[in-house]
Amino acid sequence: MQSRNNQPKYYMLMEHLKEEILMGRIMPGEQIPSENTLTETHKLSRHTVRKAISMLVNEGYLYTEHGRGTFCLSRSSKRNDSKNIGVIMTYISEYIFPRVIEGIERVLSNNKYSIILKNTSNILNNEALYFEDLLSKDIEGLIIEPTKSALFSNNLKFYEAFDKHNIPYVFLHGDYRELEGKSKVVLDDVAGMYSVVEYLAKLGHKNIVGIFKADDTQGIDRHRGYAKALTDTGLPYDPDSVIWYHTEEQEIKPFAIIKQMLEEKRNIDAIACYNDEIAFKMFPLLNKLGLKVPDDISITGFDDSFLSENCPVKLTTVSHPKEVLGEEAAKILLQLINDKNYKNNPIQKIIIPKLIIKDSCRKR
């Protein structure tokens, strides 16, 4: 084992063994490799190995029985009585997330639980760091808004670790396709976007551009609703009328492509946006290009956020019962915590959103 980043070798071994324990590769009651084995495997002195083991004993990860060896200590009793819940969100900005967290906190605080809140900024490396941190803490369960849920994630290994340690979790807003059978609270994003596009079609719009986020399941499902509504209303689906963007592109790509389309005189009579935030930021661009909403072009959002009320024209959007989603996620997690067989009894709740008609669309 080579020293790196100026870390002592005993510390590196200690971190390696801790990771094996936290990830469930060494389970409670299981004996760790002997001092001789660790010495030979990692090419360390016996003194270095003993120091690493001693640190883990002091931290409550291991215990030693004279004449038998060193074993992984169960931390489940401390976890089960901690009254701590981890909440991982992709963002905690003013957009919609404070009210979601309010809903979670209301239910949990009424049941004497405290929240450990983490914000990934929709960055997978951040999510991994927070998962590692929460595995080392005494928590009874987790509410997780998954990071980039439409993409394959190396962080799926942490969900295996939570399962091995009997730490229940509830997905919020989306989930990974590989974990579709787990407990979750989500909006029916397909139905929500369907209602928007159907409404636009009934108003006579025939050239509806859709803007969707490519790296989360909400974006994928909202696109499905868009495509289905076009088909059901007799409008053609044109891939060139769909704009996909990833998290890192959200400030530039949707607006640059809309600008290009309009400057090329593409026939566009409506823009169905992934969310209110994209729609809100579309107004200055359309104004700069000399287009008025809704006289020249209709525009819709999704989430019924405060932004929908603060656009130059009040935005037709789709409801997002933020506090209700948070409350439901917390209630489900408490049910899982009290169910010893929770892994075989997943609870899934799908909330149907409603179309909120305001002033940003007109008949064509």
pLDDT at 275: 97
In this structure, the number of other CB atoms found within 10 A of the CB of residue 108 comes to 25
Extract long-range pairs of 305-311: CB within 8 Å, 24+ residues apart. 305/95, 305/96, 305/275, 305/276, 305/277, 306/94, 307/95, 307/276, 307/277, 307/279, 307/280, 308/276, 308/279, 308/280, 308/356, 308/358, 310/280, 311/279, 311/280, 311/283, 311/360
pLDDT at 1: 43
Nearest to 83 by CA among 61, 109, 107: 109
* Straight-line distance from the first to the last Cα atom of the chain, in angstroms, rounded to the nearest whole number: 71
Nearest to 21 by CA among 10, 6, 33: 33
Amino acid at 290: G
* Residues whose CB falls within 8 Å of the CB of residue 122, separated by 6 or more in sequence, listed in order: 90, 91, 147, 148, 215, 216, 247
Q: Which CATH class is domain 79-187+323-351?
A: alpha beta
Tally the C-alpha atoms within 13 A of residue 340's C-alpha that lie toward its C-beta. 1
pLDDT at 2: 45
Q: What is the mean pLDDT of each run of 10 residues along the chain (364 residues)?
A: 68 91 89 92 92 91 89 80 94 84 97 96 95 93 96 94 95 94 97 98 98 97 98 98 97 97 96 97 97 98 95 97 97 97 97 98 96
pLDDT at 5: 60
* Residues whose CB falls within 8 Å of the CB of residue 138, separated by 6 or more in sequence, listed in order: 75, 78, 79, 82, 84
pLDDT at 196: 98
pLDDT at 4: 52
- Is the Cβ–Cβ distance between 62 and 72 less than 8 Å? yes
- Is the Cβ–Cβ distance between 333 and 85 less than 8 Å? yes
pLDDT tens-place string over residues 37-91: 999 999 999 999 999 999 999 988 899 888 889 999 887 767 778 999 999 999 8
What's the whole-model pTM score?
A: 0.88
Domain ranges of the chain: 9-74, 79-187+323-351, 189-319
Task: Give CA–CA dist 148/340, Å, rounded.
Answer: 30
Task: Give CA–CA dist 271/8, Å, rounded.
Answer: 58
Matching fold, domains 79-187+323-351 and 189-319: yes
CATH architecture of 9-74: Orthogonal Bundle (1.10)
> Burial code of 331-351, b = ≥16 C-beta within 10 A, e = fewer?
bbbbebbeeeebeeebbeeeb
Amino acid at 272: A
Nearest to 133 by CA among 122, 118, 154, 150: 118
Q: Is the domain 189-319 a CATH 3.60.15.10 member?
A: no
Three-class secondary structure of residue 29 per DSSP: coil
Task: Give CA–CA dist 173/218, Å, rounded.
Answer: 7
pLDDT at 74: 84
Task: Give CA–CA dist 2/112, Å, rounded.
Answer: 46
pLDDT at 76: 74
Task: Give CA–CA dist 172/328, Å, rounded.
Answer: 9
